[in-house]
């Protein structure tokens, strides 16, 4: 979801799309692109580029929606000893560590999984179990 370009036609303003009344009618493609960029920034962690708490809550809410529930694994984790890194080497070093950890985790998960930094050294990973089951069935 995050990190991908959001196209102007995904933002709305199309007649008959149900998006009427959102206030973006008549913005044109440049306005819709600007709005899409703002939405991406609002759902992204500024330091790591991962999803933020808002994005994670939205994805988790969709996963547990009683009308269309999806089997989902929720993994919460933090970095042991992170405070000591900040104390010993400064916040810049801590930021670099968070960015590197984010890159390494992102490199090991599927694009369909949602990784979010929800604060400090705390992360959440949402894994769509159904996709794993389907992949195993196909192999």
Write out the catalytic residue numbers: 121
Query: Based on C-alpha coordinates, what's the Rg of the chain?
Result: 18
**Which of 51, 17, 53, 45 shows the shortest CA–CA distance to 32?**
17
H or E segment and range at residue 55 = helix 53-63
Are the C-beta atoms of residues 113 and 125 closer than 8 Å to each other? yes
Q: What share of the chain is helix, strand, coil (3-state, %, to 5)?
A: 45, 15, 35
Among left, alpha and beta (phi > 0; psi -120 to 50; other), residue 116 is: beta
Q: How many CB atoms lie within 10 A of CB 79?
A: 15
């Amino acid at each position: 979801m995050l990190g991908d370009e959001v196209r102007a036609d995904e933002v709305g303003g199309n007649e008959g799309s149900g998006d009427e009344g959102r206030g973006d009618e008549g913005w044109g493609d440049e306005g819709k692109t600007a709005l899409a960029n703002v939405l991406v920034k609002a759902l992204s962690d500024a330091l790591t580029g991962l999803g933020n708490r808002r994005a994670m809550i939205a994805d988790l809410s969709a996963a547990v929606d009683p009308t269309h529930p999806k089997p989902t694994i929720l993994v919460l984790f933090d970095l042991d000893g992170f405070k000591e890194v900040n104390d010993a080497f400064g916040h810049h070093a801590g930021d670099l560590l968070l960015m590197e950890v984010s890159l390494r985790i992102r490199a090991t998960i599927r694009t369909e999984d949602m990784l979010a930094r929800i604060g400090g050294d705390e992360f959440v990973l949402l894994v769509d179990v159904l996709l794993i089951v389907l992949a195993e069935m196909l192999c």
